[in-house]
Chain A
């Protein structure tokens, strides 16, 4: 036989049977191990894995609320939301990612910055099949080109999100502010739950101040997704609460007129409705296109804006701090009368200069030969400096500071204007603290004509002027007029804090108003050219602030320096004198004299508001009958 040896087949069979039995037990035991494992997973730990499975499958997506819109007082849209398209890539579905990127760069305008950010995100740990954004804010052209090449680019998607858009951007950038992508600092500050789906936040202006109102409340939806993160169906949804739509006091037409009047210059205009404190116009020229900042401004664009000599990013209306010069005289006039330093009839002799004592320094009047005998009305109309030097010394610094502070100088008196500065209202204490020097009587003299240490923003000057227009009734300046829906703006405006300025003789208000009217309408008024031919009576005061020196880092350019050494032109005023509807402050940097440059701007604004614009709004106080009587 082939086996070569004798075999005990029966014994071999028995041996095999025993071994097979052992194997059977072995198999059975191992199968029991598997069953036990399955029992552990499926019965004992079932709940854990059900949760895991649902977590896999059900994603809670936050639904960002649409940001509230912003309107002007006539319901013209100032800030809206528009869909912006971005292109995203799902690397898992692309195949050759480098090739796909190369192709995309050929179709779209992709900057190195975008590519770098994309590569960084690609290296970071993430869920499989999660998309990575490559470029934001595609143009319609690019979307169309992408659509044509779409079949060659699997895993490349175009996605839409709502992004802030300012249709009148150049006009409203400084008044409204703008939104931008949430940065790291803001991330610390905001409520991470409510901002879960939000990419943008108010950076400045109204957008920043009313961020909470405009943002709204985040919504949620539970969606079933597959492993690639693709949403298959919505299981449950809680809608977001959209942000509130705001109406501002701003009148876009007046704002636009203000920009036109300052066109080609640098300056600011603030117009306030005295009765309500509503800011009708808040112009800082030049402006800039805030839309560029929303999705992220490019480095060269930002450099152009920030390095421009005209400083378009600088909000002159809120943050430009200027010496108020003679525009401070109406407020000081009130102070001098009420404190008893002067009387309405007091006349002084102006020889063209002022001395505290006969041997001391001479403070010059702007008019070389002097004005001769002047009373308060003449001193206002002709902007006599010597009268105010004298009045200042008579009042003393403490009295002046007391009154000026009640006009809102040296503080941010606004309710909802984000970023407004408070200027400087100098006092002996302030001077000691900042300059380590005592207060000299000469400092008081300088303050008498709004020069020296004092600084004020155009918004502060307008506020103080509106207080005169209101005859001492404080109405803090504000932007918010109304909120869409049942709620009133007062709910969201900070509380008013100022006490009315009550004079011992309230008719002093009328006296000063009349004196200011002399500036516009009097035969010797400094702004009589601007007041001529008006169908209404207006009150005003011109100012001319000296520009002392250039900033050190500015380049030498003869023409340039000549222009930038010229005085700042200022003007404050209101109209009409009875029941005033508008109070303005105008500053034209390096504009020369206030009467020649700033006053005509203010007159144009008065005309625009009283004769054209406000009548279409809440009705004009200048009735047609008056017009027929006064216009020749």
Chain B
């Protein structure tokens, strides 16, 4: 093992440029820079979104510290470690999800947490955001790519099984992200366009079926509210009306930092968690939104580059899926806050206040950095 480490660290520098510092830490400086820029900018918005509560910013900084350490740890593993452990982690994750349904704890009618004696409370569903793409990538990369139809079927099952378990908690947002992570692996593996079209057609048929049989009343309500927020302006429509008002009143250049009336006068709910992008849009305007989306785009660009330049199929599939999962976070959150999508509990990645998703996201970036920095000499 030791010999391998030495070998790969030299191999990560094929052109012989002096990159010793970053290689030694197994970090990608470009991605790291972009993440730090996003996170530090996000803390300023959080300060405003939390109505100048410095305690919130401090607590979030501590979480970022923890998440950064997690990222650093994940970056140290060789991607092959993830590959070898994937099946076992997947089984463990499924067991965790089943346990949550049986003995989980939670609040507001949803069971999401597992409190095992001797361990800190954790959400197995968060863990699955990483493990599902690993498992799917492990399974599909064992064989020829593009995969045969039966293998695509298995790949989909790998994604859908935990998704169904998470929906039952119920946690629509997370199940969506977990399922998407698996589907992206299948897509990157080379599922044929014909099949993709057929799959999308199936989903569009399944949607009304879901409406009548699968969705709970509060979920239906959210969809209805999206279509017509004015139908219940003080209840379910309140959030969406107020967030659109916050965004729209920001205009091109915004009302200025800490000057947002919607958030500071408490009209905007969840202004430091799921709806924080409305605070940004209100205070920094369209310009602020463009900058934020640009930073996200650059991060995605860098991650896709890491995926494309990865050395084996497993790494490529995993990196690609994790990148797209990150993008789905951004799109679903901004889409829901701006009233394009129904309200599902998806935070704005690395900016919304909250610990669990931050740690998972930074772990994913750790995996990407591991893929970037553990390179073997290319042999025949």
Contacts and interface: CB of A to CB of B under 8 A. Distances in A.
B250 A42 contact: yes
B104 interface: no
Contacts of B308: 16-17, 20
B289 A12 contact: no
Interface stretch (A25-33, A135-143, A310-318, A358-366): A25-33
A53 B331 contact: no
Contacts of A35: 289-290, 293
A127 B234 contact: yes
B146 interface: yes
Contacts of A38: 247, 281, 286, 289-290, 338
Nearest to B312: A9
A19 B185 CA distance: 11
Given A15-B145, A15-B146, A30-B331, A56 B338 contact: no
Interface centre among A4, A48, A227 (most CB of B within 10 A): A227
A27 B327 contact: yes
B249 A49 contact: yes
Contact of A27 (B143, B146, B300, B340): B300
B297 A27 contact: yes
A57 B261 contact: yes
A16 B316 contact: yes
Interface in A1-52: 2-5, 7-9, 11-13, 15-17, 19-20, 23-24, 27-28, 30-31, 33-35, 37-39, 41-43, 45-46, 48-50, 52
B245 A52 contact: yes
B285 interface: yes
Contact of A226 (B144, B265, B312, B338): B265
A625 interface: no
A103 to B, nearest CB: 27
B17 to A, nearest CB: 23
B265 A56 contact: yes
Contact of B245 (A13, A23, A56, A232): A56
B267 interface: yes
B293 A31 contact: yes
B267 A57 contact: yes
Nearest to A53: B249
B144 A7 contact: yes
Interface string A571-592: 0000000000000000000000
A27 B308 CA distance: 16
Contacts of B242: 56
Interface in A298-340: none
**For the complex, would chain B's binding face be called helix, strand, loop or mixed by DSSP majority?**
helix
A49 B244 contact: yes
A35 B262 CA distance: 21
Contacts of A620: none
Contact of B251 (A16, A50, A226, A232): A50
B65 interface: no
A145 interface: no
Nearest to A28: B297
B228 interface: no
Contacts of B241: 52
Contact of A42 (B146, B289, B307): B289
A34 B335 contact: yes
A225 interface: yes
B248 A45 contact: yes
11 contacts: A12-B145, A16-B145, A23-B184, A27-B300, A27-B327, A31-B293, A31-B331, A42-B252, A43-B286, A49-B244, A53-B245
Interface of A: 2-5, 7-9, 11-13, 15-17, 19-20, 23-24, 27-28, 30-31, 33-35, 37-39, 41-43, 45-46, 48-50, 52-53, 56-57, 125-128, 224-228, 232
Given A23-B323, A56-B242, 14 more contacts: A5-B144, A7-B144, A7-B313, A15-B145, A16-B188, A19-B190, A37-B338, A42-B286, A49-B245, A50-B248, A52-B245, A52-B248, A53-B249, A226-B265
